Amino acid sequence: MNVEQIYKDSQAMLNGHFLLSSGNHSSVYLQSAKVLEDPKTATKLATALAEQIKASGLQIDTVCAPALGGLIAGYALAQALDVRFIFAERVDKKMTIRRGFEVSSGEKVLVCEDIITTGGSALEAADQVEALGGKIVGYAALANRGFCQRENSDISSKPNCKLPKDVPFFALADFTFEMYSPEDCPMCKEGKSEAIKPGSRGN
Ligand code: ZN
């Protein structure tokens, strides 16, 4: 499966000069919502991810996604794995599990995002699951930005990856686009454009 082509075909891979939530700049921005607006595509991607997870032999009771980014991917993955789905959301910036979701002691939970960059939000959701007694058995995302090491990939983990190394991380592809600190950004140096934050101007 060519995940990059699916993103391109869905106009989910934007080219320009972007300010990422990390504060870095990039010439590429991934808008997973555009891929997932077609439920058939969401199902296709989630089914492929589920097959990879099933092939590993990992046992999962529940998928938990950090909102908003992971909601659709996580829900589609839970459906493909035929397991329960819950989500964590930010309340006053703190990731929280609410809405009456319960996690039983020792429940095997996989945390799913749309894209894993350093894994910060996924880890925060995992911490909340563990605080309720659940056990984090894996992480998953449609795509990996290349900072964390996923199963079946040669790309090794970078120091800024926040995911624990002893828990498997599954993704369909590595999307390793360059990112720059604002001081080192070649597009800023060129001076023809300013980095825009996707979403802030109606995109
Ligand atoms: Zn820049």
* 14 Cα: distance to centroid of ligand 1 (angstroms): 15
Please say if the pLDDT value at position 116 is more than 70.
yes
The mean predicted confidence, pLDDT, of the chain is 94
24-44 per-position pLDDT tens digit: 899 999 999 999 999 999 999
* 40 Cα: distance to centroid of ligand 1 (angstroms): 35
Contact in structure between 175 and 4 (CB atoms under 8 Å): yes
Half-sphere exposure of 97 (CA within 13 A, CB side): 23
pLDDT at res. 198 = 79
Identify the structural domains of the chain with CATH numbers, from first to last. 41-176 (3.40.50.2020)
Altogether, the residues listed in the chain come to a count of 203
* 79 Cα: distance to centroid of ligand 1 (angstroms): 39
123-137 per-position pLDDT tens digit: 999 999 999 999 999
Q: Which of the four pLDDT bands, split at 50, 70 and 90, describes residue 193?
A: very high
Indicate the SS3 state at residue 196: strand
pLDDT at res. 21 = 76
* 172 Cα: distance to centroid of ligand 1 (angstroms): 28
Please say if the pLDDT value at position 138 is more than 60.
yes
43-68 per-position pLDDT tens digit: 999 999 999 999 999 999 999 999 99
* 15 Cα: distance to centroid of ligand 1 (angstroms): 13
- Across the chain, the runs of DSSP E, i.e. the strands, are 13-19, 25-30, 62-66, 84-91, 94-96, 108-116, 135-144, 169-174
Average pLDDT over residues 159-181: 94
pTM strictly above 0.75: yes
Average pLDDT over residues 63-88: 97
Amino acid, single-letter form, for residue 177: F
